[in-house]
Structure formats: C-alpha cells, structure tokens
Chain A
C-alpha cells in the first residue's frame, strides 16, 4: 500500500496553440542542504557533482539539479531512486563535516513552463525581470503572493518549485495566463 496523491499529476492544458504551456514535473527526491561554503568541496563529493558556489547559480547534471539559494544553502533535486544513496553519503559526511540535509521531497511540487512565451507568462505575476534571468539561474521569488523557487533551465523552459498547498493556486493562475497568450490579446 504505497499510493501517492500528487496534487498536480495528471493535469494538463488543452491549449495546442498556446505559445507557452505548463505541465507538472515528474516526481523527484529533493533536499535542503545547509553547510558552510568552506566545506563545499566535501559537499560536492557527497552529492556526486559540483555544487555551484554563487547564489542564484544552478548546476545541472543528468537527472540532477543543484541550486545555490543562500549563502550556505542549496536546493537539490535528484531522481527518486537515488534518494537513499544521497542520504547515506551525507550521513557519512556528517561525522567529519557538520551540515544539515533535510528531505523536502514531499514539500514541493514542480511545474514546468515551456514555450516561446514562457518568460512572458511568468512575468504576468512576478515582479522582477524574468526575461533577464540567465540560463541555469535560480531565484527565490514570489508569484502572486506565493513563495517559490524559479529555475531557468533553457531559453524557453522554466521550472517552479512550490509547496504543495500553494500548487493549486499557482497552477490555475498560470493556466489562465497561458490561455491569455493563446488568444494573443
């Protein structure tokens, strides 16, 4: 008995002509890592890939995303099947290098925003200049009063990580805006 209820899985937009569309992102393991930047090399070794050193930087490797979202804070996304190995690696690290690794896999829901108008759709409700985000940049921000982490993974692809209780609001908001762009008004 391991039936999961994903708040958004199964949803889609029926807007074939919209210049931007949204979809729920497949499930993943997620962690909040807090560690002194002095110990970044050890943390990268435990993570298995380089962790970005600059706030706002997003490092992607196959199946994995690592975003530096604070002076000593990283948001990590990995395939579900790697969850145990990652936890074990950091658990081993703790004995010599203290840090905090907290499982937040179920805290978040991922929403992908894709298409030529993806940045414009987000700009409808985000106050900073979304189009000016670089590729592989991550930001904590607010969308219509909801706190999110926003990744720009490609010129025309963004990803929102949002707490699940807010995800319904964000989904319907973005769906309406995609419709507006489909109409071209």
Chain B
C-alpha cells in the first residue's frame, strides 16, 4: 500500500505500529492514530457509500462532525457497532472495521444505480411516489422503504459490556480543551475553584494539536500546550477528562458527559466499564467548543479525496499524514491557505489555490508564490471527476467565459468555506441566538443558564482571541462561583488574520439542474433539493429540514446546517434570521444506549423488592409476578402442573383444610397519638371512634372527588395506636396522602404516622384448620371464638417470636394474618409449613388469592375499581359512617351525578355456559343486534374459574347494574357473542358461615 506517512511527523507514536483491518485487509497504523488517519496514511480515501445514491464517499473531516466516513466497528464477539465515525475511532491492535451501505463490495456497489436514476430521487420522493393506493403505505411501501433504508447493521447479540455512571459537582465546567478552554481552565483552576475540563478527543488541546505556526508566550504551540496540561494535571482542584463528550446541557447547569473508557484499550481489565455517563451539576459553565469548517457547495464536492482543508492540515500536523501528493485547494477563506502552505512545506506539490475572492491578502499571496503554488483569485470550481477518488477539478474565472475554464489533475481537493461556531450545547439551554450579518452566522447572544461562551464558538476566531476570551471567561466564571484570581495575558506570535467570505453554492457556468452539489453528505441532500423544497411551498427551515432530511441523522447537520440555511434563505428571498435555524437536539454526538442505562441492566435493571419469604418461594419453584415494585409468588406448580391445575389445587386445599400465603407486601402504617381515631375518622369513610382496642375494621379511603383510592383492614392496638394496612401498590401513596392532609388540613391533630410496611412479615393462614395450626404455637392470646372473633387483633408470641395477630379473612374461610418482625418471617413460615403437614398445608400465590376473594365478592382496588367508582358503585355503601360530620370525599358523594342510578356499578356475572371464562377487560352490551359501533355499558373487571362452584365467575361494572339483577347481558368477542346473567357479587357462602367454621 502507498505510504503517505511522513517519518517522525505529528503526535503519533512512530515506534508503536498497530494493525487493524478494513474490509478484511490489514492496515498498519500508529499508536495515536484514528482509523481515518491510518487509512489516509495508507492512501485509502474511499471508505463508504452514501445513504441514498450509494455514491462513493471518502473522509471529509478529522473530527466528530464527520458525515461520510461511517464504519462498522468490531471489537470482538458481540461487540459490533455500526455507524462509528472513522475520524474518532482510535486504532487498536486487532480492531476490525468494515464499510457500510453497499453490495456486493465497496468498489462495485449495485445500489449505485440510484445515482444514475438521481433525477427520480428528488426531495420528497417517497411522499410523492408512494401515495397510491393509500392502503399500500402501511403494508407494502413503508416496510420496504424501512427495510432498505438505514445505515449499517444493528448488533443482534446482548451487549457484553458494562457501563458506569457518576454524579459530580464542580464550580466551573469547561467544555472543550482548545486554547480557549485551556485558558479558561487555567484561570479558574489557579483561583482555587473546583474545575472539570472535558474534551471529546483522545488528547487535550483542540486546534492546538494541529497548529504548528504560532507561538504562545515565546513557546511553540505544542510546548505551551504541554506546559498548560501539566500545570492543570498538577492541580488537585482540577479534573481532566479527555475522551469525554458533553452530550447535553440541561436545566440548572446540569450537563451530561459520556466518557469512553475501554474502547481504545487493546485489553481492558475484567469488569471495567466501557463508558461512563457523568452527570455534572456545575455552578458555572464555560463553553469553548470551537468551530467547524464549512464545506463549499459545488458539483462533485462529495468525491473521495474532497475534504475540508482544516482536516488535511490536522492529518498532516497531528498525525504526520499527507492526504495526497498533488492536492488543489478551493476556498473562500484565509484559513484554507494554511493547509496548502503546511503541505507544500512538507514536500507536497500543491497544484493551485483557487479562491473565490477577487482580492486576497497580499501576505498569503506572497507566501504561496514563495512556495511555488499557483494562485487563482476570483475563480470558482464547477465540477470534479474521478470514480472512486477525485482525479481532476474544473475551475474557471467567476467573471470569465467557459472557454477560460481549466482542468487541474489532482488526487485531493481541499475546501474551506469558513467556520461555523459550535452552538449545540448553548442551543440545548434554549439560549438566544443572534444573526451576524457580516460573518453570515448565528452566534450565542443571551445566556439563560450560568454559562459563558469563549473563543471560536463565540465567533471570535484566532489564537489570541481564543486565549484572551478563554482566560477572561474562566476568571469570571470562577469569580461568580466565589473564587477570585488574577487575569492572564498571552503573547502570540505568528498568527495570521483569518478573514473570508461566505457563499451559498459556488458560481457555475454549468446546468444547476443536473449538478450534484451536496449540502448534507450524510443524507445525500443537494442544493437543488433545498431549492426544490422551497419551490414546492416549504418556507420554514423546519419544514425544509423534514422534507429534504437535511440536517437530520447522526451528525445533526454539523457541516450542513448553515449551508442549507443560506440556500433556503436565498430561495425564499428572506433574510437568514427570518428563515431560522433548526433546533439542535442532544446528544451532541451519537451515544450508546449502554451509557444511558449505566448500572441498570441485568439484575440491577429495575429495583425488585423481595419479601423475607421470597427466597423460600424461589426454592419451591414458585412462579412470580410483578406487583408494583415487588415480585410476588403467583402460584406454586407441582411437577407436571400448569397454572390452571396449580391454582385449582391451591384453591381446593385452602377451602377444604389449610392454605398459607405470603402477604408481607401489604402496606402498613402505624398511627400513634391521642387524635389517632379522629384522624382516621377524617381520612376513611368508616367511623373509628367506637372501635375498641383489640378489634379491627375494613376501611375505605376516598379521594377528594369521592372515588375509591385504597382500602384495607385497620386494627386498634390501644386507645392511641392503630395498625393500618393498605393495598400493596398503594402503600407509599396512601402514607403520602395522609401526611399531606395531616400537615396541610389537620395540623391541629396530635398524631404521627410511621411506615411499618417492612417492619413486619405477614403470613396469612386460611382454611378450616387455620386455628388448629396456630393454636399450639401462639402464646399470650386467647384464640377462642369469644375472646378472638373474626376482625380481631392481639399482640402475643408465636413460636417464641413477637407477633401482632389479626383474625381476618380475604378468602371467606377462617383466617389469621400473622405479623412477625421481618427477619423472623421465613423461620415462622417454615415452622408453620412443618406443623401444617398434618393438615395438608398448601402454599398459595396471588392468583389463588384472587380467585378465593372473587368468589366472596371482595374487591381489589385498582382491578375492580378504576378511579371512577364511589363506595356505592362498588357495593361498599355500608362502609360509610353516615353520622360523621366529614371525611375526605364526603361532599363529592352528594353531588347529583354521584347519585344517579345509571352509574356504573359493580355486579357479578355468571356466563350461560358455565365452562366459559370471560376475558378480563371484555366490553359488555345490552343488545347484541344493534348496529356497530355498539353502545358499551361496562366491562369485565375480574374473571376466574371457580373450583368451589365448578363453574366460571366474573365481576363487572355495568351502567345501572344494581337494577339489572337477573338480566342477561352480552359480551361480543372475536369468536362470537357470549351471554351472561347479572348477579350479586357474592358467589360463595353468602351467609359467611365459613368465617368461623
């Protein structure tokens, strides 16, 4: 392969060769190379095919703004990632890279037929072409378009890497470590402020890494850079983060940073995170992100070998790589001349500098002449040639005729259209932008966060400006954060003026209708597309963006936005600021999902709460279901049992003899104080004053709107102490609601609330043998029917452990809920299991619990209620203390519409075919023969197979349900309409004889 590396040049390690592959071919780069610089050192410019036209594409830039050189990167098994920018991926030994969007090969790509048919693929092509028939869009067109669209292949295996995250706080966060950022960090760091300096590149220094002409304070740029970084690294109050991209800037100076940790290492320690997401809260932020060079827009500006002049200079000075042997430079700006000069001094034959300006600075001209470079001022470029690499460029005088055109043979074309300040992070804050007519660019104007911009990102170009502004911004930021320091001044030598002009498309004598003058390289949007969009009526830049796709995709228009805007503004004949700039959205550069997920994957994916008895259930092979954040045992299948069989067995065992259930997840609140009963009077619908210590009551909690919010059994332990239970999902919500009312509505009440949900493990034993099971184990509580009837509570001991014992039932059988301090939970459970063997004790899960309670018509808040049911609607009118002066929701219950008889009311449903189990959520109609859409009068809320009744049962809410007892309603299902009879909600043991059986 051709060698374009200059021995000893640049900042790469010439003693450390690194081998990697590109499309299977081994490429040798050097430590410090990016994939792009290593490919260029080997003479490779062609790296991919474009998105739409499949045109051969090369490396445009040397930074994160790269729109073209997107590669698949393979770091090993399951570590394959598409769309990496070759200009930022560091070479590592053994790395595999592949080009994208072509078949069968990069050099011969069938898809390039699109390029020949380009007249068809204009802006809005899909919208115009795939209009008819309309029904084809969802089923035919869109799937095919989506199938062929997109760049690269997404990985299919689970990501084997780990990711990390970290919060941090600092006084001054400096984003960008070019001269402005370094000067800011130095000023702030010297003042003693806690400083973070972050930069997306592998090395701190920004533009200084490519700058070899100027000197600072008598030192070469590189010597000053080293001294500055050394000084910063020596400060305890300064954190330096290279390889770290500030991806988003959020409210109150909260900035997200993504740090790359292991990708550049050929071997990383086991368990090391691949990336880390920093979440920084900074008192002050200095944005020193610099500027991105603008491409020029002309026919054929996308051929491999056509690149930004600044990129060529970076490859030469930083990586020691010549991008060609006979380049031509085309520019509207002074800075591109520097690339020509540096290349010429490195021995490259620069064919010509073509500058669209008629008047160019005389010093530049003189230098060019001294280096033997031909200068064509007032000339334009009208086209390029070359299939897989630019081979020649056509230029002509802007004011001259076509006959004066000249063709220059070349192997690289370096373009410089001036500079676009990087406004991305500033824009994330919704800071106000201001249009600068002289510079034809937007600049940061009014900051809404505690932030400052400095250097080229602020439109102040040149080294002296960057250092001076950076130092001032760093000092001011530190001062605003409470640190004072003295200013720094910098002596610059060797800097030349950076002037230039801004153009839309370059002037041409050729047919612009056939020109392929690209604005957005990544989305294959040409100047013609933008003008067409405007002709078709799109006047707003946001609409032009969506119609043409310019500025979309992973590069977010870093190189294309301003060119696109200037062309659109010319086409609509309105000034640029009225056309506007599209919104920059975070992240600044593509960011892995892993970095966002951080630690939250695998077992840390979500918080999973487990009860003290969970481990026992797991050992027994229980099947679990999530209930709010908890996982609960759903059912306990025996070998060969499916869910239906297991639940049927669990139900039968509990009704026949004895079942045991882990109810630890129930919310619990201890309410203590002399006004505890009065507080409950005001919160719950029920009366509490007369509830005696040792007794419990079922309570219903409403919202201010009168609708059911929660329910639970509440026990009175003593005059001043209650043990409240809530639903599992409602625990935190109910406590918050109570605290809210206590603090804002009832501050006069002497009562305090404490969450005891997790203080107690709760074991429910139900069935005719439940008392027989616990009686020998309980101490200090008289379990006789007289002393401890249904709905009692007492404190004592069970198996030697303190307990709060409830006599209650959610199954309709005799039942006890044994509360023990949580850490005894599993031991007591196992003791009960052992002692219960003689009764055939059967552990059951949440599904059996649901079936048993539905047989009794006990509701589950959130399943049988949906936030629109009053106690009357749910058949709980008996739970309202009618004599109470007030409780939360009382007034709402007397509103006229709450008293209507046609409200949806909870009823039972028995299907005509007893074997049919209705689907929960199924809609109910009165007349199955009415026209569609039918009037739906309610829906099924709970539906199960009842073993006890040997038939299906269901609960439902139906308009005026209480007045429809015995009527038949209809449930239309895909397989046919089902019929069911409206009944009461209690299906089993309506006399409640079994509670004391």
Binding site for B on A (CB under 8 A): 1-7, 32, 34, 72, 94, 98-108, 123-127, 129, 132, 144-146, 163-166, 168-169, 172-173, 176-177, 179-180, 183, 185
Contact = CB atoms under 8 A, between A and B. Distances in A.
B164 A124 contact: yes
Contact of B827 (A3, A100, A164): A3
Contact of B167 (A103, A126, A185): A126
A169 B758 contact: no
A179 B610 contact: no
Contacts of B827: 1-5
Given A4-B824, A163-B757, A166-B609, 20 more contacts: A2-B801, A4-B827, A5-B612, A5-B826, A6-B823, A34-B672, A34-B752, A94-B720, A100-B672, A102-B670, A102-B672, A104-B756, A105-B821, A106-B758, A106-B760, A124-B167, A127-B279, A164-B612, A164-B822, A176-B599
B892 to A, nearest CB: 31
A123 B831 contact: no
B821 A106 contact: yes
A180 B612 CA distance: 30
Contact of B674 (A98, A103, A127, A165): A98
Question: Which 9 A-B residue pairs are closest in the complex by CB-CB distance?
Answer: A34-B752, A100-B672, A100-B752, A165-B609, A106-B822, A106-B821, A102-B754, A3-B827, A129-B169
Contact of A185 (B272, B281, B630, B799): B272
Contacts of B754: 32, 34, 100, 102, 104
Q: Which of A106, A125, A129 has the most CB of B within 10 A?
A: A106
B900 interface: no
Contacts of A125: 165, 167, 599
Given A4-B824, A127-B279, A144-B600, A180 B673 contact: no
A165 B630 contact: yes
Given A2-B800, A124-B167, A105 B759 contact: yes
Contacts of A104: 754, 756, 759
Interface in B818-846: 821-827, 831
Interface string B746-772: 000011101111111000000000000
B608 interface: yes
B458 interface: no
A56 to B, nearest CB: 18
B611 A165 contact: yes
A185 B168 contact: no
B160 interface: no
Contacts of B751: 100
Interface in B790-838: 799-801, 821-827, 831
A180 B273 contact: yes
B758 A165 contact: yes
Contacts of B672: 34, 99-102
Interface of B: 162, 164-169, 261-262, 268-269, 271-273, 279, 281, 599-600, 603-604, 607-612, 615, 630, 670, 672-674, 720, 750-752, 754-760, 799-801, 821-827, 831
B599 A144 contact: yes
A90 to B, nearest CB: 11
Please indicate which of the listed interface residues B607, B674, B821 has the most CB atoms of chain A within 10 Å of its own CB.
B607
A104 B165 CA distance: 32
B759 A123 contact: no
A108 B455 CA distance: 53
A42 to B, nearest CB: 15
A107 B608 contact: no
Contacts of A172: 603-604
A51 to B, nearest CB: 16
Which among B168, B279, B752 has the highest number of chain A CB atoms within 10 Å? Answer: B752
Given A1-B831, A2-B801, A180-B164, A185 B759 contact: no
Given A104-B754, A107-B758, A146-B607, A5 B825 contact: yes
A164 B826 CA distance: 13
A172 B600 CA distance: 11
Contact of A180 (B272, B610, B756): B272
29 contacts: A2-B827, A5-B827, A32-B754, A98-B673, A98-B674, A98-B750, A100-B670, A101-B672, A102-B672, A107-B822, A123-B167, A125-B165, A129-B169, A129-B281, A144-B600, A144-B604, A163-B757, A164-B823, A165-B630, A166-B607, A166-B609, A168-B610, A172-B603, A173-B599, A176-B599, A176-B604, A177-B599, A183-B271, A185-B268
Contacts of B674: 98
B833 to A, nearest CB: 13
Contact of B823 (A4, A166, A168, A180): A4
Contact of B262 (A132, A173, A185): A185
A30 B424 CA distance: 51
Contacts of A99: 672, 752
Given A107-B758, A123-B167, A169 B608 contact: yes
A185 B166 contact: no
A164 B169 CA distance: 30
Contacts of B825: 5
Of B604, B759, B760, most A-chain CB atoms within 10 Å:
B759
Given A180-B164, A185-B262, A106 B604 contact: no
A126 B165 CA distance: 10
A32 B672 CA distance: 12
B758 A102 contact: no
Contacts of B670: 100, 102
B756 A102 contact: yes
Contacts of B268: 185
Nearest to A184: B269
A140 to B, nearest CB: 12
A29 to B, nearest CB: 11
Contacts of B757: 107, 163
A164 B167 contact: no
A68 B976 CA distance: 64
Contacts of A98: 673-674, 720, 750
A165 B610 contact: yes
A163 B168 CA distance: 26
Contact of B758 (A34, A101, A163): A163
Contacts of B609: 165-166
Contacts of B800: 1-2
A124 B599 CA distance: 10
A128 to B, nearest CB: 8
B163 to A, nearest CB: 10
A106 B759 contact: yes
Nearest to A30: B759
A105 B760 CA distance: 10
Nearest to A147: B732
A107 B750 CA distance: 25
Contacts of A106: 758-760, 821-824
B919 to A, nearest CB: 33
A100 B749 CA distance: 13
A183 to B, nearest CB: 5
B950 to A, nearest CB: 39
A165 B826 CA distance: 14
A7 to B, nearest CB: 8
A166 B599 CA distance: 16
A127 B167 contact: yes
Nearest to B821: A106
Nearest to B828: A1
A104 B825 CA distance: 15
B607 A169 contact: yes
Contacts of B273: 180, 185
A62 to B, nearest CB: 24
A8 B801 CA distance: 21
Contacts of A185: 261-262, 268-269, 272-273
A182 to B, nearest CB: 9
A168 B618 CA distance: 15
Nearest to A4: B823
B699 to A, nearest CB: 20
B15 to A, nearest CB: 26
Nearest to A130: B167
